[in-house]
Chains A and B, each alone.
Chain A
Amino acid sequence: MTHDLHSVERSGEHLEGPIENAIELKEVMGLSQGQIVRKRFLHHKGAIGGVLVLIAVVLLAFSSVGFRILGVDVPGWWRWNVTDLPQIVDDGDPSSAFGVIPWGIHPFGQDDVGHDVFALVMKGTQTSIMVMVVVGLVAMVIGIVVGAVSGYYRGWADQALMRLTDLFLTFPVIVVGAVLGKKFNHAAPWMLAAVLGAILWMTLARLVRGEFLALREREFVDAARISGAGPTRIIFKHILPNAMGVIIVQTTLLMSSAVLLETALSFLGFGINPPQVSLGWLVSNYQSAFSSRPWLFWWPGLVIVILALCINFIGDGLRDAFDPRQKKVPSAKAMAKADTKAAATSTSLFQRISGRGGAKRGSSR
C-alpha cells in the first residue's frame, strides 16, 4: 500500500513515554503498511481464534451434508440428508454427549418425525454463511459506491446521497427487513440475502464518505490529479486502497449483524422458509419443544452465536490491525527489558525522536 510512512509517523505521535515508543517503533520499523497490518492481525489471539473456528465451521457445514453449486450436487460424507426420515432411535435423544463424543448415529438427536438434527443444522449453517457472504458483498459494493461518490464529488451528489442514507436509517433494519422478507421469502435464499444487503449499507457509506472527504484533500491526491489522472483512477487507485481498512472492518461487523438479521427474520417467518433450511426457522419451529427435546433448540442457536462471535472477533482484530494509532500495551517483561536497554544507551534513537528524556512507565494504566 502507498503512503505507509505517514501512518508510522502518526503512530509515534500518539504514544506516551519513550519506552513504549521504543518497543512500538521497533516492531514496525522497515515494514510496509500491509505487513504491519498482517503482523498485528496474526498477533491478535481473539481474531486468530475466530478465523480458525470459522474455517472449521465452514468446512464442517459444507463437507458434511454436501451442497449444490451451478446445478451440480456435491455429496457430503454425513450419512443422512435433510430430507431423510430415518426411524426414530432412542426416542430421538442425541447419541453423543454435547454433540462431541462419541459421535454415534444422530449426534444432535432427531426431531419428532425423525429428521436428523445434525443434517438440518449443517444445512442451516450453510444458508447462514451464504447469506452472510452475499449480504457482505452487496452492502460493501453499495456502501463503497455511495460513500465514494458523495465523499469525492461533494456538492449536490453528496447532499442527495446522504439524505438517501438518512432515509434508509429511519427504520430499524429488522422492520424494513420484515417488509422486504414478506415479499421475497419464497424466492431463492440468495435473492433474500441480496435484498437484505441493500438495506444494510448505510453505516459503511457514511464511514467511506468520511474517509474520502479526508483523503481527497491530501497531497498525493493533488499529485495524482496534476499528473492527469481522472476521477475514476483517483478514486480506485489512489483513495480507495487507503480507505480499505475502514471498509474491511465495517463489512466484517456488518456480516455478523447480517447473520443475526436473517435468522431473526426467519424466526418471525419473513425470512427463509422450507424447503430451504435456516437456523432461525429451526429455532422458531422447535421452540415449543424446548422443555421436552432441548437439543432441537440448543444447536441452531449455538451455531448462530458461534458464527456471529467469530466474525465479531475477526472484525475486532482487523480494527486493531488497521488502526495506526492502536498501541499494543507491552508486557511488564518487555517493559523491563526495554527499560534496562534505554538506561544503557541514554541517547537512544527514540529519545531523540520524542524529544523527551527519562523513563515513564504507563503509570496511568
Chain B
Amino acid sequence: MITFLARRLTTSAIVVLISSFLMYFLVAIAVDPLSVLRSSTMPSAAKQQQIAHLTAQLHLDEPVIVRYFDWLKGAAGCTYGMCDLGTNWRTHEAVTSMLSGAVVTTLQLVLVATVLAVVIGAAIGIVSALRQYSGFDYSITFMSFLMYSLPVFWVAVMMKSFLAIDFNDFIQNGGQFSAVWIIGVALVTGLAVGAACGGGRGRILRIGAITALAVGALMVYANLTEFFVTPSSGGPLDLLRVLVFSVAIAFGITALSTGLRNRKALYSALTVAGIGAALYYPMLYFWNAVPASWPIVLLLGVVAMLVGIGVGFAWGGTERSRSARTAAITAFFVAGMLFLDRLAQTWYDYAHSSWVHGRPIATSGDSTPNLGGSYWMHTTDLLTHILLPSITLVLVSMASYTRYVRASTLEVLNQDYIRTARAKGLTERTVIMRHAFRNALLPLASVVPVDILFVLGGALITETVFGWSGMGNLFVTALHENVLDAAMGYLLIVAVLAPLANIVADLLYAVLDPRIRVDA
C-alpha cells in the first residue's frame, strides 16, 4: 500500500513537472504581452521605451526554459508553504491571492454539479437498464445522445433566459401556475414515471394517472399557498407538510431498502419521521438562539443519523441492523427537510431584500455583493447563484453517467450470482438493491474522479457565461489579457489534480472491489 502510494506519487510528481513545463512553453509562445503596446498609437520613441521596460519586467528576452525554472522555483515553494506563483503584471496582484478565492468558488460549482450528475445519472441509468428495450429506455438513450451533442455555452445562455428571467417574472407575477402548465407538467411527469415503472399497459396507465394526479395536486397546492412567494412561514400548515413528506420519505426509503414487509424497519423509519416532525418547533427556537453555520448544520445531520441508528436498534428484532440502516437514511432526509424548511422561511425576506429586488435567481456572479443578513440568507444566496451553472454542467455531464451505469447494470444483471439470487427465491427488490445495485455502481468509482477534470473544463465556459469569478474565468481572462503567470496558476492546479484524481480512482476501486489489489 505504502509502496504503491510512494511509487504513484513519485511518477505523478514527474508527470506534473513535465506537463507544467509543456504548458508553460505553450502558453509562453501563445501569449504576447507586447501586442497592445505594439499596436498602440503613441510616439515611436516612447513606445520603444515602454516595450523595453515591459520586456525587462517580464524577462521576455530570456529563453522560455530559463523563465520556466524561475517560475518553478517559486511554485516549488508551495510544497513548504511559501507559494510564489508570480504576479499579474497588469494589476500587480499576486497570483496566489487571485487563486485563493477562485479555487473555492470553482470547487463548489464542480462538486455540486458532479454529485448531482452522478446521483441523477446513475438513477436514470439503472432504471433504463431494468427496462431495457422499452419505450422508456429508448427515450433515455435518445435524450443522452441529445445531451452529448449540446454545446455547453448555448445551453448556458438559454438557461439564463428561460430559467432565470422567466422564473423571476413568474415569481414577480405572484408565482401562480396557469391551468395549461398544471395539466402539461402533470401529464408529462405521469407519462415519464409510468414508463419508468414499466409493466403491462394497465399498470403503466394506473401509475401514470396516480402520479399525474399527485403532481397536479401539488401544483394546485403551490398555487393556493403561494408557495413560490412564501414557501414556508413556520406555521402549523408547514409543520403538517413536513410531517406528510417525512412519512412519505419513511415509506419510500423502507420500500427501497428492506421492503414494506419488514415491519420493524418500517416502524423505525416512521418513528424517525415522527421525531423529526416533533422537533419542528423546538428546532425553530434552537435556530433563534444559536447562530447557524455550516459546522453546526453538518453536526446536526450526523446527530440525526445517530438518532436514527438508535431508533432502529431500539425496535430490536433479529434484523435490527437493517432497521437501523433504514432509520438512519430516513433520519438524514428528514433532517434535510427540516433544514430546507428553515431555509425556505428566509426566502421571502431574501427575494424582497434591497439587494435582490424580487428577482431571486441570479444570472451572473457567484454571490450577491455586500449581502447582509444571517447564515440562512447567505445559504439561499449561494443556492440561487449556483443553480443555473450547476444545472448546465449537470445536463452536459449526466449523459455519460447514464450510459455508463446502464451498461454496467446490464452486465451485472447477466451474471451468475444474480441468477443464483433469483433462483433461491429472493424478491426482485432484494436482487436489484442488494445484489445488482452495488456492483453496478462499482465502475463509477474509477470514472468519477477522472470525470471531475472534464467538468473542470466545462466550468471554463459556464463560469464565463454566468460571470463566476472562479478559476476557469480567471484562466480565460488571463489568456485574453496575455498574463502568463495567472494562466499558469490555473494550469498548475489542473496539472496536480489530474494525477491525483487517477490515484484516488485506483485507490477507491481497490477499497470497494476486493478482487483488485494495489500492491500486486
Binding site for B on A (CB under 8 A): 166-167, 169-176, 178-180, 182-183, 256, 260, 263-264, 267-270, 280, 283-284, 287, 290-291, 297, 300-301, 304-305, 308-309, 312-313, 316, 329, 364-365
Interface residues of B in 63-90 (CB under 8 A from A): none
CB neighbours of B460 from chain A (8 A): 172, 174-175, 178, 268
Q: Which of B143-151, B219-227, B261-269, B272-280 contacts A (4 or more CB under 8 A)?
A: B143-151
Q: Mark B482-511, 1 if CB is under 8 A from A, else 0.
A: 000001000100110011000000000000
- Chain B residues touching A, majority SS: helix
How many interface residues does B have (CB within 8 Å)? Answer: 47
Q: Mark B134-176, 1 if CB is under 8 A from A, else 0.
A: 0000000000011011111110011011000100000000000
Do the beta carbons of A175 and B457 come within 8 Å of each other? yes
Do the beta carbons of A280 and B145 come within 8 Å of each other? no
CB neighbours of B499 from chain A (8 A): 170
| Contact for A179 among B30, B160, B495, CB less than 8 A | B30
Q: Taking CB as reference atom, which chain A residue is nearest B138?
A: A46
Do the beta carbons of B146 and A309 come within 8 Å of each other? yes
CB neighbours of A308 from chain B (8 A): 148-151
Q: A166-B15, A171-B494, A179-B26 are known contacts. Are A267 and B461 too (CB-CB below 8 A)?
A: yes
Do the beta carbons of B22 and A167 come within 8 Å of each other? yes
Is B480 positioned at the interface, with any CB of A under 8 Å from its CB?
Answer: yes
Do the beta carbons of B19 and A283 come within 8 Å of each other? no
Q: A169-B498, A256-B148, A309-B145 are known contacts; what are 18 more A-B pairs with Cβ within 8 Å?
A: A166-B15, A167-B19, A171-B19, A171-B495, A172-B454, A172-B458, A172-B460, A172-B494, A175-B460, A178-B476, A179-B27, A182-B27, A256-B149, A283-B154, A287-B465, A290-B160, A304-B151, A329-B133
Q: Taking CB as reference atom, which chain B residue is nearest A270?
A: B479
| Contact for A301 among B154, B453, B479, B494, CB less than 8 A | B154
Is B299 positioned at the interface, with any CB of A under 8 Å from its CB?
Answer: no
Q: How far is the CB of A143 from chain B (nearest CB, A)?
A: 19
Ordered by A's residue number, 26 sampled pairs between the chains whose C-beta atoms are within 8 Å are A170-B15, A170-B495, A171-B19, A171-B491, A172-B457, A173-B457, A174-B457, A174-B458, A178-B460, A178-B475, A179-B487, A180-B30, A183-B30, A256-B149, A264-B151, A267-B151, A268-B153, A268-B476, A269-B480, A287-B465, A290-B158, A297-B157, A305-B146, A305-B149, A329-B133, A365-B132
Q: How far is the CB of B413 from chain A (nearest CB, A)?
A: 7
Is B31 positioned at the interface, with any CB of A under 8 Å from its CB?
Answer: yes
Interface residues of B in 1-55 (CB under 8 A from A): 15, 18-19, 22-23, 26-27, 29-31
Please, how many angstroms separate the alpha-carbon atoms of A179 and B439 in the complex?
40
Do the beta carbons of A283 and B30 come within 8 Å of each other? no
Of B26, B30, B464, most buried by chain A (CB within 10 Å of CB) is: B30
Do the beta carbons of A268 and B461 come within 8 Å of each other? yes
| Contact for B479 among A173, A178, A287, A309, CB less than 8 A | A178
Q: Taking CB as reference atom, which chain A residue is nearest B146?
A: A309
Q: Which 10 A/B pairs are nearest by Cβ-Cβ distance?
A: A172-B457, A308-B149, A301-B154, A183-B30, A182-B30, A309-B149, A174-B457, A267-B153, A170-B498, A287-B157
Do the beta carbons of B15 and A175 come within 8 Å of each other? no
Q: Taking CB as reference atom, which chain A residue is nearest B454?
A: A172
Please, how many angstroms separate the alpha-carbon atoms of A256 and B151 in the complex?
11
CB neighbours of B458 from chain A (8 A): 172, 174
Is B456 positioned at the interface, with any CB of A under 8 Å from its CB?
Answer: yes
Q: Taking CB as reference atom, which chain A residue is nearest B457?
A: A172
CB neighbours of A284 from chain B (8 A): 153
Q: How far is the CB of B518 from chain A (nearest CB, A)?
A: 18
Of A170, A284, A287, most buried by chain B (CB within 10 Å of CB) is: A170
Do the beta carbons of B145 and A268 come within 8 Å of each other? no
CB neighbours of A290 from chain B (8 A): 157-158, 160-161
Of A173, A178, A183, most buried by chain B (CB within 10 Å of CB) is: A178
Do the beta carbons of B479 and A182 come within 8 Å of each other? yes
Q: Mark B380-393, 1 if CB is under 8 A from A, else 0.
A: 00000000000000
Do the beta carbons of B15 and A264 come within 8 Å of each other? no
| Contact for A175 among B148, B414, B491, CB less than 8 A | B491
CB neighbours of B165 from chain A (8 A): 291
Do the beta carbons of A313 and B145 come within 8 Å of each other? yes
Q: Taking CB as reference atom, which chain A residue is nearest B472?
A: A175
Do the beta carbons of A365 and B133 come within 8 Å of each other? yes
Do the beta carbons of B457 and A291 come within 8 Å of each other? no
Do the beta carbons of B161 and A171 come within 8 Å of each other? no
Please, how many angstroms separate the alpha-carbon atoms of A256 and B145 in the complex?
11
Please, how many angstroms separate the alpha-carbon atoms of A317 and B153 in the complex?
28
Do the beta carbons of B479 and A167 come within 8 Å of each other? no
Q: How far is the CB of B419 from chain A (nearest CB, A)?
A: 9
CB neighbours of B479 from chain A (8 A): 178-179, 182, 270
Please, how many angstroms separate the alpha-carbon atoms of A313 and B475 in the complex?
34
Q: A175-B457, A175-B491, A182-B479 are known contacts. Are A312 and B145 too (CB-CB below 8 A)?
A: yes
Do the beta carbons of A182 and B31 come within 8 Å of each other? yes
CB neighbours of A263 from chain B (8 A): 151, 153
Q: A166-B15, A170-B19, A180-B26 are known contacts. Are A175 and B475 too (CB-CB below 8 A)?
A: yes
Do the beta carbons of B26 and A260 come within 8 Å of each other? no
Q: How far is the CB of B381 from chain A (nearest CB, A)?
A: 24
Q: How far is the CB of A271 from chain B (nearest CB, A)?
A: 11
Do the beta carbons of A280 and B22 come within 8 Å of each other? no
CB neighbours of B149 from chain A (8 A): 256, 260, 304-305, 308-309, 312
Please, how many angstroms separate the alpha-carbon atoms of A270 and B479 in the complex?
9
Please, how many angstroms separate the alpha-carbon atoms of A183 and B30 in the complex?
4
Q: Taking CB as reference atom, which chain A residue is nearest B29?
A: A183
Do the beta carbons of B30 and A264 come within 8 Å of each other? no
Please, how many angstroms separate the alpha-carbon atoms of A284 and B461 in the complex?
11
Please, how many angstroms separate the alpha-carbon atoms of A270 and B149 in the complex?
21
CB neighbours of A300 from chain B (8 A): 154
CB neighbours of B23 from chain A (8 A): 171, 176, 179
Do the beta carbons of B161 and A291 come within 8 Å of each other? yes
Do the beta carbons of A264 and B26 come within 8 Å of each other? no
Q: How far is the CB of A165 from chain B (nearest CB, A)?
A: 12
| Contact for B453 among A172, A183, A267, CB less than 8 A | A172
Q: Taking CB as reference atom, which chain B residue is nearest A177?
A: B457
